[in-house]
Amino acid sequence: PTNVGILAMDIYFPTTCINQEVLEGHDGVSKGKYTIGLGQDCMAFCTEVEDVISMSLTVVTSLLEKFKIDPKQIGRLEVGSETVIDKSKSIKTFLMQLFEESGNTDIEGVDSTNACYGGTAALFNCVNWVESNSWDGRYGLVVSTDSAVYAEGPARPTGGASAIAMLVGPDAPIAFESKLRGSHMSHAYDFYKPNLASEYPVVDGKLSQTCYLMALDSCYRLFCDKFKKLEGRPFSMSDSDYFVFHSPYNKLVQKSFSRLYFNDFQRNPSFVDEAARKTLAPYASLSGDESYQSRDLEKASQQAAKHLYDVKVQPSTLIPKQVGNMYTASLYAAFASLLHNKHSLLVGKRVVMFSYGSGLTATMFSFHLQEGQHPFNLSNIVTVMNVSDKLKQRVEFPPEKFVETMKIMEHRYGAKDFVTSKDCSYLQQGTFYLTKVDSMYRRHYTKK
Ligand code: ACO
């Protein structure tokens, strides 16, 4: 099979959200801290009736229906998530309910977990399967889903929630350039979830930012090396039309892009324009460690790269700014934003993707885009995802109600023997939701 990649996509995020400016006021932080400092507009969250299982059921059902995929046509189903609801039973097994009805239980794959990287691991598994000898001609299906919640404090505004489904197969409009992959994996305690009784992570915010940027540098170096071996000439940022990043919050995406720009400058000053060469010259000989600590470099490179950021990155920032960090779904929500904003202009373009999961695991890889054949074409994917309407249908909760929801969720995490609220007025038709958890911890869902 050739041009293996993403044939179809759909995205779901809860309608319930909180405005970041309102949250700033409620938290008593300085005005602009979340909206400008972190670069975030709004944050989606699950109420007591939603979780990663219900969101996954919703998005998979929607994708199969809207692209008219017979459930028997799925041969592999992989889920990427770091939201633990059960330490043994995979989210994938819940999704099997959607396939058993059609008589299809012959579906490989389970869940992949490592922080925000699980979705990429799941996607690679499906792509590798289609490219392998064990492929049986059917589609792969990937689900990336998380509910990202933090304890009260500076990390809380960097939460979010979503589920994304991606259909994988040959002759895809979003094709992998499979030889172009650079990974960086190592051991770090930057963000982890050692407390099994709580949904909240332990996070060293500053360390996680540095780990992210170090992994980015390392992946970019390898990506450039592989490109050079393959193409016989060096890679620079002008070789890719768009750069899409895992987006914990938008400020880090701005910093990441300018970091790549600084990398290009260090590799060969002629890769950047003349004004940027002047701006960056004072930092040319900084060591790696110094460069991560230098606030002046950060500011200078952001300024030098701004014009390119607006062209190559900004179109991918819509959903991450509106919905927040969706952990495993965050990178793919950013990519969905690019499709949404630029669909008709993407044919023939290259998109470089950077996936990061704390702990840590990271890969840079790339897509080559084509229009594709109906229903698996870029414009149909954009129509099905219907991002504008989904953003419009949202319901902003006041901060008191948001905090109360977080409290309820804390009590419900790992609990049994409860029924959920009957008020589901804010859910759209077709949304799956949790009705109860019985005395054996079995979870019951229904569809609105
Ligand atoms: N107006 C404008 N900007 C402001 C304001 C204001 N009123 N107040 C603060 N800022 C800026 C700061 O200058 C800073 O910007 P800078 O980074 O360009 O210097 C930014 O807002 C953040 O403020 P800080 O005080 O530096 O950081 P804070 O203590 O608020 O924590 C952090 C931010 C570390 C991101 C925290 O939210 C966190 O721990 N989040 C979770 C970890 C995370 O997402 N890590 C990313 C990779 S790992 C992953 O994906 C989970």
Render pLDDT for 216-275 as a digit per residue (tens, 0 to 9): 999 999 999 999 999 999 999 999 999 999 999 999 999 999 999 999 999 999 999 999
The pLDDT confidence band at residue 422, using thresholds 50, 70 and 90, is confident
Residue 288 predicted with pLDDT over 90? no
* Inter-axis angle of helices 250-267 and 205-231, nearest 10: 40
The average confidence (pLDDT) of the chain is 97
3-class state of residue 282 by DSSP: helix
Alpha-carbon span 292 to 53, nearest angstrom: 38
What letter does residue 200 receive in the DSSP assignment?
P
248 lines ligand 1 (CB under 6 A): yes
213 lines ligand 1 (CB under 6 A): no
Distance 325 CA to ligand 1 centre (A): 13
**Residue type at 387 in one-letter notation:** V
Report yes or no on whether pTM surpasses 0.95.
Answer: yes
Is 246 one of the catalytic residues?
yes
Alpha-carbon span 41 to 109, nearest angstrom: 36
Distance 214 CA to ligand 1 centre (A): 18
Residue 98 predicted with pLDDT over 90? yes
The confidence score (pLDDT) of residue 344 equals: 84
Contact yes or no for 48/434 (Cβ under 8 A): yes
Is 340 one of the catalytic residues?
no
Alpha-carbon span 359 to 364, nearest angstrom: 17
72-83: average pLDDT: 98
Q: Please identify, by atom number, the ligand 1 atom nearest to the C-alpha of residue 327.
A: 50
The confidence score (pLDDT) of residue 244 equals: 98
Catalytic residue among 184, 246, 340, 343: 246
**Exposed, middle or buried: residue 386 (CB in 10 Å: 0-12, 13-18, 19+)?**
middle
CB atoms under 10 Å from CB of 137, counted, come to 10
Which of 34, 38, 299, when mutated, tests ligand 1's pocket best, judged by the most ligand atoms within 8 Å of its CB? Answer: 38
Q: Please identify, by atom number, the ligand 1 atom nearest to the C-alpha of residue 155.
A: 37
205 lines ligand 1 (CB under 6 A): yes
Q: Please identify, by atom number, the ligand 1 atom nearest to the C-alpha of residue 157.
A: 37
212 lines ligand 1 (CB under 6 A): yes
Catalytic residue among 78, 82, 177, 199: 82
The confidence score (pLDDT) of residue 337 equals: 98
The confidence score (pLDDT) of residue 385 equals: 98
Q: Could you tell me what percent of the chain has a pLDDT over 70?
A: 100
Alpha-carbon span 33 to 24, nearest angstrom: 7
Cis peptide before 315 (omega within 30 of 0): no
The confidence score (pLDDT) of residue 188 equals: 98
